[in-house]
Chain A
């Protein structure tokens, strides 16, 4: 056997093994490691597990009003965003009859008056007539177009607010950002943390799914400026966005921090007094011309002191 040939063969085998090992290591470091959920108690405390928010189960997570007048007759089907599940579960427990909610252990029955299909699903459902009231942040242009294309006009009644917040890793030295800088980052004009007083590290601007409540909030914030995805920043340090309620559980663990925007901290006081510049209202949305009186009764309850107390006890900021 030719020793030279053997050496070449061994080198090829070794090279192949090293290539695969390197590739897998890179995938682990740059991707897998970042998406492993640790499900620590702080996260669980604030994350929305559907089973923890089923009305009429005695769950301590559902805050309801005692003694409120219950709806009778044609009950409006209610649905909403994941982040707002605590709010509308509380509404349902307060004013819907107990037997109107049918939960099979993993999902709501199609005959149930309460559903849970998340922001994108519930917008489709209200336009298609499968839901009568949805509790969501403002719809995206695409969702409004879907409604218009189907000849449906939507009425939006604000029932609460929260802060639209920008979050970074807790070790990031940047604590403050301006609205213009946010627009600069998501339009691709600002690409390095050093431009914001941080270190010379690329900014990885993270996005959500199209049609999600927070992605729509970003689109509204950007206005006419196009959002430019940056696929090259995977080795950088991230910035992302969410609503304050979702983030607060993580803060207790020190993994992330919310940035001040224009020097204002996104806390309940600053949201309430309007000094935090990017408030995110959420709405009870129904079809214009709705003939079911119970739709209006339910929305009146949501805007009443009892309904607003549920908003507050669920961790959001009431507006009435």
Chain B
């Protein structure tokens, strides 16, 4: 694999990975704002 190709692949993985993680965190934060503490404990498990 050429160095340029490798760097492009790395960059794509980084961008997709960071975007996915950020979207997941934003989604979770929005859900967290809405959920009651009672339901969160029910979901949490033991």
Contacts and interface: CB of A to CB of B under 8 A. Distances in A.
Contacts of B32: 31, 35
Contact of A27 (B21, B40, B43): B21
A24 B20 contact: yes
Would you list the 3 A-B pairs with minimal beta carbon distance, nearest first?
A: A255-B42, A20-B17, A171-B46
A240 B46 contact: no
B45 A237 contact: yes
Interface in B13-29: 13-14, 16-17, 20-21, 24-25, 27-28
Nearest to B34: A37
B34 A6 contact: no
Contacts of B31: 32, 35-37
Contact of B37 (A13, A43, A242): A242
A9 to B, nearest CB: 5
Please indicate which of the listed interface residues A24, A35, A43 has the most CB atoms of chain B within 10 Å of its own CB. Answer: A35
Interface residues of A, number: 47
17 contacts: A20-B17, A23-B21, A28-B24, A32-B27, A32-B31, A34-B43, A35-B40, A36-B43, A37-B39, A168-B46, A169-B42, A201-B46, A206-B40, A208-B37, A241-B37, A242-B36, A256-B41
B interface, how many residues as a size bin?
Answer: 20 to 34
A6 B34 CA distance: 48
A239 B44 CA distance: 10
Interface stretch (A147-155, A245-253, A304-312): A245-253
Contacts of A34: 40, 43-44
Given A16-B14, A20-B17, A169 B46 contact: yes
A23 B46 CA distance: 22
Interface in A199-251: 201, 204, 206, 208, 214, 237-242, 246-247, 250
Interface string A265-280: 0000000000000000
Nearest to A43: B39
Given A35-B32, A206-B41, 11 more contacts: A13-B9, A20-B17, A35-B31, A36-B35, A37-B34, A38-B39, A38-B43, A168-B46, A240-B41, A250-B39, A255-B39
A285 B41 CA distance: 32
